[in-house]
């Protein structure tokens, strides 16, 4: 709430006051889902990460994203992905799709990551995608 008061002086005898009520929404928090799927023996499998905004802000929120190698590495294990997500003032969930390369090589489960950075109206975070070997 903002209050403003004017008191008169010898030149301006009138006195005025004003009151403005303003609702402040809580700050928005960004989060991203983990994904664990079998990679398949050929072709590619879409890993869909869901980026969520804790609450609608009434104003746009943007965040950059980029994949990062873990034990899985691009381009042999997955196709790298990067870009920017733009939440409207009412949107709270957006997808990021990463295509994972299938193969028939016997190997342990592998991970890669999605990093969120440079948020405008939110926070940074990181999540894993686990590429499971399919036998």
Output the domain CATH number for residue 73.
Answer: 2.60.40.2030
- The domain tally of the chain equals 1
Inside any domain, residue 18: no
Inside any domain, residue 100: yes
User: Can you give the residue range of the structural domain that contains 113?
Assistant: 27-132
Inside any domain, residue 85: yes
| Max Cα distance, the chain (Å) | 91
What's the confidence (pLDDT) of residue 95?
98
Inside any domain, residue 120: yes
Nearest-angstrom CA–CA distance, 120 and 122 = 6
What SS3 state is found at 4?
strand
Nearest-angstrom CA–CA distance, 110 and 112 = 7
What's the confidence (pLDDT) of residue 82?
98
Inside any domain, residue 57: yes
pLDDT by residue, tens only, the chain of 135 residues: 455 555 656 665 555 666 666 666 667 788 899 998 888 889 999 999 999 988 888 888 899 999 999 999 999 999 999 999 999 988 999 999 999 999 888 888 899 999 988 888 765 555 445 544 444
What's the confidence (pLDDT) of residue 28?
79
What's the confidence (pLDDT) of residue 131?
47
Predicted TM-score of the model (pTM): 0.73
What's the confidence (pLDDT) of residue 103?
86
The count of other CB atoms within 10 Å of the CB of residue 99 is: 14
């Amino acid at each position: 709430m903002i209050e403003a008061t004017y008191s008169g002086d010898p030149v301006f005898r009138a006195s005025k006051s004003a009151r403005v009520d303003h609702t402040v929404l809580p700050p928005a928090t960004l989060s991203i889902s983990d994904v664990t799927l079998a990679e398949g023996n050929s072709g590619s499998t879409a890993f869909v990460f869901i980026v969520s905004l804790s609450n609608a802000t009434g104003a746009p929120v943007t965040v950059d994203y980029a994949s990062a190698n873990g034990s899985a590495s691009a381009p042999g294990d997955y196709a790298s992905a990067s870009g920017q997500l733009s939440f409207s003032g009412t949107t709270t969930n957006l997808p990021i799709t990463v295509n994972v390369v299938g193969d028939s090589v016997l190997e342990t489960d592998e991970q890669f990551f999605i990093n969120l950075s440079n948020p405008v109206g939110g926070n940074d975070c990181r999540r894993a995608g686990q590429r499971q070997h399919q036998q």
